[in-house]
Chain A
């Protein structure tokens, strides 16, 4: 069983790498904090110096948030690619980004008194609304979900929502407030947000892993699956539900980050093959690792200023994306 050994070692390497970058992220940042202090902040609940406070209430939620969000974005990318049978799909196709963005703009425009946590909740709601809208449109004409209609409906609704929120932002001069969100960043992630959204993300991730063995069926047609006693439409519904939870929350927390969802699932497939039972766990771990590393780089490039996180991910992502698109087109 050569494949299994490869899978086990990939899983092990990715986990070690993830833990390593998470520890690095706790250690390094705008403030210089000694390793011993980091250690005592993590292990000794009574240590309460300023540095320990920084570690516990600023860096720790940020690192944990980055790992969860990275895993969530990568996982929902893999689900989307499986469900739409489109190797270039990601959760943006479900209108998640546009929906969350529009709701955020509306909140900033009309309810500026809302707290950050409340705004985040509304952004999750916006993402869910737009995803459901697109889902309904693409199932309206025939009973079964048609992947290509889904993609088209997704583009249409996303464009509409993006136009609406940009128009609003322009008229009400909100560009400045929205900028952090457009580039994406983990600076604002705090315990008060993670308290509820963190467990929700974990639930979504566990559901995704449970779906992984079924997801292989998405390689077949609806007829193939039905004659094997399985329902592809049901599987698609469940998978899209997971995508809404995972990427809705992530996008609401950190803004639009495209390349994690697009790129990581492909990288995992290159490493462990196309069987989702193997590639999904690796996808989640790699997504977390990339996001934590990119966040670390964002903090270290020009301290104490933060380089926009989305830009760093895109700098790594765009070349991979072009390579991938070319590879896919020569395959076809």
Chain B
């Protein structure tokens, strides 16, 4: 079943159209990853899916309901979003940041309820941040800070979690930590995950569904096996990739620039 559908959606900034006439489906309960070159419109699409940017034409349906018709506060209980660039909220402690995730549930001027405390605790545990909870963000490493922001999205306790490049700036180990965390959220807590990634091997290994975008157009969408083909990678990234099959998942072993004369 599809959680999100876009129907002939165009999105842009001012009078510049970035995404034109786009129709995609995002399946419920799965991990969907957007891939594509820098500037292809992944973040733009994500912002539209999260109702942060209004499409110029077309509709975006969430659970068959036009997303424009949903109140921001209601939407915030269904969908958590971690944009690509976050404010460096340096003065806040990890716990304060994570407790922001409970805002959609709080009444004006009311304090945190028992449920709020439980969810904050749960989010901190999921992101392995218990030991760092009282530290201010400015004293954390880039990877720890990234985990704190993800924990804020987790504390929002939504069915859908949208992450724009959650592993940027992280080393191999911390990238893996974040990806495993995402996988756990999907498998154990049944969250639908939508994310944008640059690491194609991570995308292939951890996703159920891939959407490849180039210059605002969908070049391919479907299962990892359907999308991760040498053909598609050539069309999307202009590369000649050598793919290997590792336990049923296609992975890129190595790649080169694609050149016309190699064909002859």
Contact = CB atoms under 8 A, between A and B. Distances in A.
Interface stretch (A130-138, A211-219, A298-306): A211-219
Contact of B100 (A85, A210, A220, A223): A220
B92 to A, nearest CB: 6
A162 to B, nearest CB: 33
A229 B76 contact: yes
Contact of B109 (A213, A223, A226, A275): A213
A210 B109 CA distance: 8
B72 A219 contact: no
A115 interface: no
B83 A229 contact: no
A229 B72 contact: yes
A228 B109 contact: no
Given A213-B109, A229-B103, A275-B96, A223 B89 contact: no
Contacts of B36: none
Nearest to B47: A223
B85 A221 contact: yes
A221 B87 contact: yes
A332 B20 CA distance: 40
B212 interface: no
A231 interface: yes
Interface in A194-248: 210, 213, 216-217, 219-221, 223-224, 226-231
Contacts of A274: 91-92, 136
B247 to A, nearest CB: 36
A145 to B, nearest CB: 15
B96 A216 contact: yes
A223 B83 contact: yes
B52 interface: yes
B91 A219 contact: yes
B91 A226 contact: no
Contacts of B47: 223
A56 interface: no
A221, A224, A275, A331, most chain B CB atoms within 10 A: A224
A228 B103 contact: yes
B166 to A, nearest CB: 15
A223 B81 CA distance: 9
B80 interface: yes
A220 B88 CA distance: 8
A269 B100 contact: no
Given A219-B91, A220-B89, A223-B83, A230 B103 contact: yes
B83 A221 contact: yes
A217 B87 CA distance: 11
Interface in B32-71: 47, 50-52, 71
A224 B88 CA distance: 12
A230 B92 CA distance: 18
Interface in A263-322: 269, 274-275
B75 interface: yes
A229 B75 contact: yes
B156 interface: yes
Contacts of A224: 83, 86-87, 100
A274 B80 CA distance: 25
A227 B156 CA distance: 10
Contacts of A227: 50, 52, 76, 79-81, 83
Nearest to B85: A221
A217 B81 CA distance: 15
A43 B79 CA distance: 60
B86 to A, nearest CB: 6
B73 interface: yes
B75, B79, B103, most chain A CB atoms within 10 A: B103
Contacts of B12: none
Contacts of B73: 229
Contacts of B80: 227
Contacts of A221: 83, 85-87
A223, A226, A230, most chain B CB atoms within 10 A: A223
Contact of B92 (A210, A219, A228): A219
A226 B48 CA distance: 12
B250 interface: no
Contact of B52 (A220, A223, A229, A331): A223
A206 to B, nearest CB: 12
Nearest to B149: A224
Contacts of A216: 92, 96, 100
Contacts of A275: 92, 96
Contacts of B86: 220-221, 224
Interface string B75-113: 111011101011101011000100011011000010000
B89 A229 contact: no
Interface of B: 47, 50-52, 71-77, 79-81, 83, 85-87, 89, 91-92, 96, 100-101, 103-104, 109, 136, 138, 156
Given A224-B83, A229-B75, 5 more contacts: A210-B109, A226-B52, A227-B76, A227-B80, A275-B96
9 contacts: A210-B109, A219-B87, A223-B83, A227-B50, A228-B100, A229-B72, A269-B91, A274-B136, A275-B92
Closest 8 CB pairs of A and B: A229-B76, A274-B91, A229-B73, A227-B81, A219-B89, A229-B104, A228-B103, A221-B87
